Amino acid sequence: MPRTPEPDEDDLATTPPPPPVFHVEQALLGALLLEPHRLSEITGIGASSFSTAAHAALFGAIGSMPAPDPVEHATDASWLHEVLTVARRQARGLSPTYVHALVQVCKWPQHAAAYARIVEAEHARCRLAAAAHRLLHTAHDVSLPHRVTSVLAEAAAVAGVVDDVAARFPPHAGSLPRTPAPPTSAPHDAEAVDEELLLLATATAYPASVEQMRWLTADDFTDPLHADLWQCLSALTRRGVPVDPVTVLWEAQQRGVLGTRTPRELLGLLADSVGSPEHWGERVLQRSVLATAHRVGRRIESFTDDPATTPYQLVVGSRRALADLSAVRARWQHATAPPAPAKKPTPTRASAAARAGPPTTKPPAARIGR
């Protein structure tokens, strides 16, 4: 049973402490309240870069007002009150006490630019985390009519965020993230297993299609045995030997990939074909695109969840993760591209119609009557 706190017990101890960037934001705002002219040194951040609504409102208010005269500002607090009045329009809970506390907490206003750079780095992490979360959500949203198209659009959005972060924090050598990869175990999907079996059976019945389906690889299958059997089919078609359930069974035995299936079971599975190999192949590849998007989203999310990951490492690690998705996306686009229109045959010189020219024979001589 959950523990019931005592009436006089202070439950504030259960509130997690604010992250380090919260204190950096306080130092930056305090520096700008003390020396407003330092706002000209701040680049790369805006009100949305701050972690709380109160901090965002204060930064926006400071930027919307002209800086006071430094000499007058040292002895007159009217500019601070004006900032508070403007900021309260966005954050009504702000108080004069908190504004003065920010002024007191900042001991080094000359470090304002360094504080802003830290805020910018943390905001980049939050942006990338949000983009990765949207990619994960889209990969699992079964209500979307075109899931792969939506997933690839979100992946492009993630890549856009990564490029923007890279422009602000260019990666350098030795900036690989040290965050361990999250587990990639996937639940058993009976529908995926059935579709892979139908693909293998129809490809065995129509082996000519296998050579045209190079956009499908063994890594796209969810069952290791199915991946091995696809490699067997591909090897047989490349060698140009007859393909049927018996030859596939023999190839699987030669490769040692029969697994727990008995020969009779395997022959039965390969003989039950329905539909076309291309249809089932696209279904298998579609699942592979979605599964890869899930893994990429989880990987990038693990980078952003690790506070020790620097912006440079976020860029390098995210780009490497996205490369896996780019590879399967290229194969998906190749598989689903409409067939190219057949080119009209170019007439050769021999088949071209002869051009009309002058007669090569003389007209018959006129007959002279007797």
Model confidence over 152-188: pLDDT tens digits? 999 999 999 999 999 999 877 777 888 888 877 666 6
- Let me know: does 15 contact 5? Beta carbons within 8 Å: no
The answer as to CATH 1.10.860.10 being correct for domain 124-177+190-337 is yes
Residue 367 is predicted with a pLDDT of: 44
Below-50 pLDDT ranges, the chain: 1-2, 7, 351-352, 354-356, 363-364, 366-370
Question: Would you list the DSSP string of 268-327?
Answer: HHHT---S-HHHHHHHHHHHHHHHHHHHHHHHHHHHHH-TT--HHHHHHHHHHHHHHHHH
- Let me know: does 311 contact 169? Beta carbons within 8 Å: yes
Residue 312 is predicted with a pLDDT of: 93
Residue 180 is predicted with a pLDDT of: 85
- Let me know: does 300 contact 157? Beta carbons within 8 Å: no
Residue 179 is predicted with a pLDDT of: 86
pTM, rounded to two decimals = 0.81
Q: Whole-angstrom Cα distance, residue 358 to residue 234?
A: 61
Residue 6 is predicted with a pLDDT of: 55
What are the b/e assignments for 227-236, b being 16+ CB within 10 Å? bbbbbbbbeb
Q: Whole-angstrom Cα distance, residue 29 to residue 94?
A: 14
Residue 5 is predicted with a pLDDT of: 53
Residues of the chain with CATH 1.10.860.10: 124-177+190-337
Nearest to 34 by CA among 75, 86, 64: 75
Locate 116 and state its tokens: 């802003």
